[in-house]
Amino acid sequence: MSTTQTQMAPAEVTTAANEPQIPELTYTVAQTTEEKRDALRLVADTIAQQRQVASTTIIFHPGVLGPFVAILSGLVYRSGRDWIGAVILVSGVIVAYLASVQYYTYFYLQRAENFNWRDFITPSADKPDQQDTVMFARYGDNIIATVVLRIEEAEKSHKTASQRRGKGSAAHIRAWATRLRYRGTGIGGDMLREAVVLARSSLGPAATIEFSYPHAHTVDTTRHFTAPFARREERAQQALAQAIKDVDAAADR
């Protein structure tokens, strides 16, 4: 039986070598000041992006859009045959409408501008031993997801067996952010699972893992036009519950 060997032509070798390499996706804990700063910069960016969500919600809310369209229709009707005047008037009203929406949602941008990454992870004076762990996902050279986890152990003195398993201890997720273009790809869920694994290894299987309140992206849902944020909060809770379920199921195998 003969053996046939296929030799790749030099042109094919060159083409394969010139193909762009797929960037590596890694999950890790920030160790340096620069890594923590870059990871938390993503948190600030996602806080600022909340303004876009709020603005869109207001602009297209039926309770706002309906009366606004009615006002525009009335202005056009009263202008009669003066179409140029009507266009100028309507344009001015639309600009004023959008400007008022931007003014109403400015505090989201203000929160992002006032977000100080160093202060956010620095322990308070009354709890100097409290430390935050910054975790991030890096794709190539870019940080695309971040989790800030605060570990709170039970009192170390006279620990019972259940406390040694983590009962009475808690891990609080103080920030969870994914770059906009990578949302819905599973990266955010992977970050939560990494956070759960770290919490379980640090505190034990009985430790409580939950989002802190308030956290970096907390929005007062008693305000008007905040329904999308309430839904986001609910989805985040569901994602964390699924991450805990996945990690605990893997540990039981």
Q: What is the CATH number of the domain that holds 177?
A: 3.40.630
Domain count, the chain: 2
Q: In this model, does residue 244 exceed pLDDT 90? A: yes
Does the residue 188 lie in any domain? Answer: yes
Does the residue 142 lie in any domain? Answer: yes
Does the residue 9 lie in any domain? Answer: no
Does the residue 228 lie in any domain? Answer: yes
Q: In this model, does residue 163 exceed pLDDT 60? A: no
Does the residue 62 lie in any domain? Answer: yes
**In which band, very low, low, confident or very high, does the pLDDT at 155 lie, cut at 50, 70 and 90?**
low
Quick one: 20 exposed, middle or buried, by C-beta within 10 A (0-12, 13-18, 19+)?
exposed
Q: In this model, does residue 158 exceed pLDDT 60? A: no
Q: Specify whether 229 is located in the same domain as 137.
A: yes
Structure tokens given for 81: 């045959």
**In which band, very low, low, confident or very high, does the pLDDT at 6 lie, cut at 50, 70 and 90?**
very low
Mean pLDDT of the chain: 86
pLDDT tens-digit readout, 31-43: 999 999 999 999 9
pLDDT tens-digit readout, 86-137: 888 889 999 999 999 999 999 999 999 999 999 999 887 777 677 899 999 9
Q: Residue 90's CB: how many other CB atoms inside 10 A?
A: 16
Instruction: Express as a percent the part of the chain with pLDDT over 90.
Output: 64
pLDDT tens-digit readout, 67-78: 999 988 888 888
Q: Are strands 208-211 and 25-29 parallel, antiparallel or unpaired?
A: unpaired
Q: Specify whether 176 is located in the same domain as 248.
A: yes
Q: Specify whether 195 is located in the same domain as 211.
A: yes
Q: Residue 202's CB: how many other CB atoms inside 10 A?
A: 15
Q: Specify whether 68 is located in the same domain as 165.
A: no
Does the residue 37 lie in any domain? Answer: yes
Q: Specify whether 86 is located in the same domain as 186.
A: no
Q: Specify whether 154 is located in the same domain as 35.
A: yes
Q: Specify whether 73 is located in the same domain as 37.
A: no
Q: Which domain holds residue 188?
A: 25-44+117-252
Does the residue 14 lie in any domain? Answer: no
How far does Cα 82 stand from its chain's mean position? 49
- Residues 6 or more apart whose CB falls under 8 angstroms from that of 112 comprise 44, 45, 47, 48
**In which band, very low, low, confident or very high, does the pLDDT at 18 lie, cut at 50, 70 and 90?**
low
Does the residue 138 lie in any domain? Answer: yes
Q: Specify whether 128 is located in the same domain as 188.
A: yes
Distance CA 169, CA 202 (A): 10
Instruction: Express as a percent the part of the chain with pLDDT over 70.
Output: 86
Q: Specify whether 134 is located in the same domain as 242.
A: yes
pLDDT tens-digit readout, 41-81: 999 999 999 999 999 999 999 999 899 999 888 888 887 77
